[in-house]
Chain A
């Protein structure tokens, strides 16, 4: 037996969640009756038993140091019997049965730098990926863009003044680790330069048939270059998805000038009212402009404001656009409509306007 196997524990899975449930959750598990939003970021859930559980939802940068996690545990020890939870959108939530604790948690967390909000018709934390902090294929940073956008939209986080909720997500390349493609607004990092093929090393690092198979548009063919097995790129067929780079590091395509951000709009995952739908292209390319990406934040603000002003109550971004039509969206936002907005991948024809129902802008 190898040394490493001695007393090795494997395949135990995660801890049983039941050990981590606060007493009030354990007691009323599956017996919740209704909830109310008391103010932005504060919920009360009322159980059949009459028990009330207050939730304080705090924004988080997702990229969190152990120092801050330890601070959260202090708050939870003080006010929440030593329990806390996180949400599917990276917020941290403090659950307490004592209403008096709500204001105290709110004050201490706000003071520390984690504001309270993100409930109801608001903009909550942006689901996002790693970006330049940790990713090899990033076409933009993630945390920085998110910080800039949320700073700009902060009034919609700690107030509930939008027609409906607005879910924003960011992925730093087309791999979409964040699966952002069904968001009210999706921020998507995008490369626009061809992969640079390292013919010298390609065959040592990568398997050529795998590279060819990785290309969604069949733009990569095996080829012999300077007597070495390698690949060639049919440039007209390349849409810079970086999938070849994912399977083969000898085809990098990151570029300071050609990398940037595209914006997508009108997707949703919830089934409420209309069925789930994909986000659609709004702005094809905005160059990276760190540290605050002002062109990105202003384009997003434009979309949010135009929607907030024109949508009916409960109408999500995509539902509003479906009602008034895309010509209105482009007119009101002032975004340029171009050839790039018209789909030319599989089933493209389904996205053409195939009726005589049209508005005149």
Chain B
């Protein structure tokens, strides 16, 4: 008989309108002793205001260096079923689309080999299988790969790329996020499974500047859709929005960051030459305004959360890339590999590429990877005179 835990603290979190994770743990606990012990341990954490987990560093599946996060409770005698409670990251399909058949297969594998608890999905985008024992890792891996799934990244490797819903269900997708996310994932399977970098490396693909996967905040390479030509406009639909109560002057025109719109109460005008492609006017009136036809992506580099040297947002590396074009995509991949080479050569342990660029200087980084500096890359030129002038070789020789 599994132990029966009294959980008054957690029971409180079964109440209320928002879906309850306690209900989920209890559902899993009905079928599974690990989840039952998790319930007991979590109630204890709520009472003590303290977590009870130790970080493993060595468990994994044979041959891979990522995809499994080792976890052990520090109270194994009292909660023996979760003495081991490892996480598996499973690479999600692009855009998190599933057939019910695939989900049933995943649930079946997980019910037989693990806690029956998941995250759909983790912050990385992966399917998370939450809690299993060391001995179950190989059988799970075997069944997953036979079912067509593979592990995602963890540690100092290429992390599982993720993308927005893109052309699958969004009129604003400026490139095929689903396809390019899949392509990158397949091209770099070795980098994803066998950590060989100074630290993690993330790709995130957003189809437009609304950036639904937060690429600019957290991906080392943030690929954000944009367009070059004019915003497509349907004046009749603009009129309908106005009739239906949209305050076009105040809510659309005045909110334009480029001040490139005019509205005379009848017609909307856009000076597309000044448009920054911020998406606001399109967001407000999706039936009347749409991105143009000459679509592609902006590639930005270097975002990360605070650890170690402080948080960074990505900054522009390539202002426009026709990423749907196979040749341009291949050239982009070559550049990525070049950047990774430079970073692997010179980067310090646990130094993200954004931090690396901060340390060596963006100008030097661009030079090392063979990219020309252009004004699109900066918010403004330097405002200090501490310039490291580089003399050309002849001059240097003369000085000597």
Contacts and interface: CB of A to CB of B under 8 A. Distances in A.
Interface stretch (A140-148, A194-202, A228-236, A325-333): A140-148
B17 A154 contact: yes
Nearest to A288: B49
B12 A291 contact: yes
Interface stretch (A54-62, A99-107, A302-310, A351-359): A54-62
A210 B349 contact: yes
Contacts of A176: 305-307, 311
Interface residues of A: mostly helix, strand, loop or mixed? loop
Interface string B182-217: 100110011001000000000000000111111111
Nearest to B173: A30
A69 B148 contact: no
B55 to A, nearest CB: 4
A21 B103 contact: no
A337 interface: no
A271 B279 contact: yes
A324 interface: no
Contact of A144 (B31, B46, B111, B309): B46
B145 A9 contact: yes
B111 to A, nearest CB: 5
B38 interface: yes
B97 A25 contact: yes
A82 interface: yes
Interface string A150-172: 11001001000000000000010
A73 B210 contact: no
A70 B104 contact: yes
Contacts of A341: none
A270 B210 contact: yes
A61 B120 CA distance: 9
A246 B255 CA distance: 44
A19 interface: yes
A216 B286 contact: no
A177 interface: yes
Contacts of A134: 53, 71, 85, 87, 130-131
A45 B169 contact: yes
Interface string A1-19: 0101100111111111101
Contacts of B94: 14, 17
Contacts of B374: none
Interface stretch (B19-27, B265-273, B339-347, B387-395): B19-27
Given A20-B102, A136-B55, A61 B21 contact: yes
A313 interface: yes
B120 A345 contact: no
Interface string B166-181: 0111110100101000
B13 A213 contact: no
A355 B311 CA distance: 26
Nearest to A82: B100
Given A4-B138, A9-B146, A19-B99, A14 B185 contact: yes
A221 B209 CA distance: 44
A83 B169 contact: no
Contacts of B134: none
Interface string B98-111: 11111110110011
A68 interface: yes
Interface in A70-98: 70, 72-73, 76-77, 82-88, 90, 92, 95
Given A83-B100, A135-B51, A66 B118 contact: yes
Interface string B345-362: 000111000000000000
A15 B148 contact: yes
B325 to A, nearest CB: 15
Interface in B6-37: 9-10, 12-13, 15-25, 27-28, 30-31, 35
A273 interface: yes
A314 B93 CA distance: 33
Nearest to A313: B251
Interface string B120-156: 1101010000110000001000100110111000000
A246 B306 CA distance: 14
Given A134-B53, A269-B217, A276-B217, A63 B97 contact: no
A113 interface: yes
Interface string B215-249: 11110000010000000000000000000000100
| Most chain A beta-carbon neighbours within 10 Å: one of B55, B98, B110, B278 | B98
Contacts of A42: none
A102 to B, nearest CB: 15
Indicate the member of A69, A90, A138 with the most B CB atoms within 10 Å. Answer: A69
A137 B18 CA distance: 26
A107 to B, nearest CB: 16
A11 B169 CA distance: 29
A161 B140 CA distance: 46
Contact of B212 (A5, A36, A84, A88): A88
Contacts of B251: 313-314
Contact of A147 (B21, B48, B52, B148): B21
A86 B121 contact: yes
Interface string B277-309: 111100110110010000000000000011111
A159 B356 CA distance: 45
B305 A290 contact: no
Contacts of B278: 271-273
A283 interface: no
Interface string A219-258: 0000000000000000000000101001101000011110
Given A4-B62, A132-B45, A314-B251, A69 B169 contact: no
19 contacts: A30-B167, A34-B286, A34-B290, A35-B171, A61-B21, A63-B118, A64-B117, A65-B24, A66-B110, A67-B116, A90-B119, A114-B19, A129-B123, A132-B51, A135-B53, A179-B214, A216-B309, A291-B10, A346-B310
The 9 closest A-B pairs by CB, nearest first: A151-B16, A179-B218, A176-B305, A30-B167, A271-B209, A73-B100, A17-B94, A150-B18, A9-B145
Given A45-B169, A61-B20, A243-B308, 16 more contacts: A9-B146, A10-B193, A11-B190, A29-B168, A60-B19, A65-B28, A88-B212, A95-B169, A134-B130, A216-B309, A256-B50, A272-B210, A272-B279, A272-B280, A276-B313, A314-B284
Interface of B: 9-10, 12-13, 15-25, 27-28, 30-31, 35, 38, 42, 45-46, 48-55, 62-64, 71, 85, 87, 91-104, 106-107, 110-111, 116-121, 123, 125, 130-131, 138, 142, 145-146, 148-150, 162, 164-165, 167-171, 173, 176, 178, 182, 185-186, 189-190, 193, 209-218, 224, 247, 250-251, 255-257, 276-280, 283-284, 286-287, 290, 305-311, 313, 348-350
